[in-house]
Amino acid sequence: MNATSSPPDCPPPPPAPQPAGAVITNRRRWWVHLLLISAYVLLVGVVGREHSETHTHIPALSHTAGGLLIVCTIELLLFALVLGLALVASRASRDDLLLRWRRGFWPVPLGIGYSVALRLAVGIIMMAAGIVLIVTHVMTVQSLQEFAVANRPDVEAIVDISAMRHNPLYFWLALTVASFGVAGLREELWRSAFLAGLRSLWPQHFGSRPGRILAVAIAAFMFGLGHLGMGLIAVLFAGLLGFGLGLIMIFHRSIWPAVIAHGMFDATSLALLPWIVEKLPEIQRTLGH
């Protein structure tokens, strides 16, 4: 062989096995991470339920623009504290949390497109479920309508509809800070942290593609429980939405398309709320006939 020839390519050596004590310590760290993240979303659901039952005239986002900003700031700081403690425990990397921004400008149009697709998909699934219940005689058309009216999402527990109509600053803060900050960024960071915990503790179950989808389904179930304060239909709706957002996240290996999709979804929903609430009695009368 020529003296100047380069040696043949060799595969990198396998990583050195960790001592048993280090593996146990690492698992303990991830257990603390996962328990903190899980407890946070369950606590949000319980507090939301308690608020809706005991503060029937006080929306979670207050009645004023200033109150909305204060509530959003507190929500973000509390989540930052919980997430920070979880990350200190687990030492999760930005790749564990899927924080890399990929493909240049594309996450923005992808997120907008996904928000439309998610709205259509969730609506179709909910309609299909209603049709199945009627066809299988589990419920009649009338009983399904009564169930939908009795369990409609309690949006008034979240925002002040009158303020959305008459206070432009409140309206735009709800569409930006609340939708993209508290909902989009906070909730997708929660999802990525929860998925990271499952992957790290049980890589044999949640490391493959089917396993990652199963993890997304578990996260969606937890995410739905976080909306207990808005009623049963809101829990189901949020669970379906969370499943779609989780699939977007693992498909792109990045939280950002899901963050933008979530923010756009919530912003457009809030923008339509005043019109929906105004037309709801008329819609209910039409369905009743």
Instruction: Tell me what pLDDT residue 164 has.
Output: 92
3-state secondary structure 142-166: HHHHHHHHHCCCCHHHCCCHHHHHH
Residue 16 lies in a domain: no
Q: Which of 258, 228, 249, 237 is nearest to 43 (CA)?
A: 228
pLDDT value for 7: 47
pLDDT digits (tens, 9 = 90+) for 127-182: 999 999 999 988 898 888 888 878 878 788 889 988 999 999 999 999 999 999 99
Q: Report yes or no on 245 lying in a domain.
A: yes
Compute the distance between CA of residue 270 and CA of residue 22 in angstroms, rounded to an integer.
48
Structure tokens at 266: 């919530």
**Cα(225)–Cα(227) distance, integer angstroms:** 5
In a domain, 280, yes or no: yes
Residue 230 within any structural domain of the chain? yes
Lowest-confidence range among 9-13, 90-94, 192-196, 267-271? 9-13
Q: How far is CA 246 from CA 133, 181, 230, 274, in A?
A: 27, 18, 21, 29
Short-list 285, 52, 283, 284, CA closest to 156: 52
The more confident residue out of 264 and 225 is 264
| pLDDT at 46 exceeding the cut of 70 | yes
pLDDT band at 198 (very low <50, low <70, confident <90, very high): very high
Residue 12 lies in a domain: no
Q: What are the respective helix, strand and coil percentages of the chain, to the nearest 5?
A: 75, 0, 25
Confidence grade of residue 21 (pLDDT, cut at 50, 70, 90): low
Other CB atoms within 10 A of residue 49 CB: 17
pLDDT at 37: 96
Number of domains in the chain: 1
CA-derived radius of gyration, the chain? 22
The 10s digit of each residue's pLDDT in 66-80 is: 999 999 999 999 999
Q: What is the pLDDT of residue 285?
A: 58
Instruction: Judge whether 29 lies within some domain.
Output: yes
pLDDT at residue 279, as a whole number: 65
Question: What is residue 1's predicted lDDT score, i.e. its pLDDT?
Answer: 44
Q: Considering the domain boundaries, does residue 100 fall inside one?
A: no
Would the pLDDT of 89 be above 90? yes
The boundaries of the domain holding residue 163 are 22-95+107-288
Q: Helices (DSSP H) in 91-208: which residue ranges?
A: 107-135, 141-150, 161-166, 168-173, 186-201, 203-206
Q: What is the pLDDT of residue 22?
A: 61
More confident residue, 59 or 198: 198
- For residue 11, being part of any structural domain is answered with no
What tokens were used for 234? 């809101």
Instruction: Name the pTM for this structure.
Output: 0.86
Give the residue carrying structure tokens 């949640």: 206
Mean pLDDT confidence for 31-59? 83
Element holding 69 (H helix, E strand): helix 65-90
What band does 49 get if pLDDT is binned at 50, 70 and 90? confident
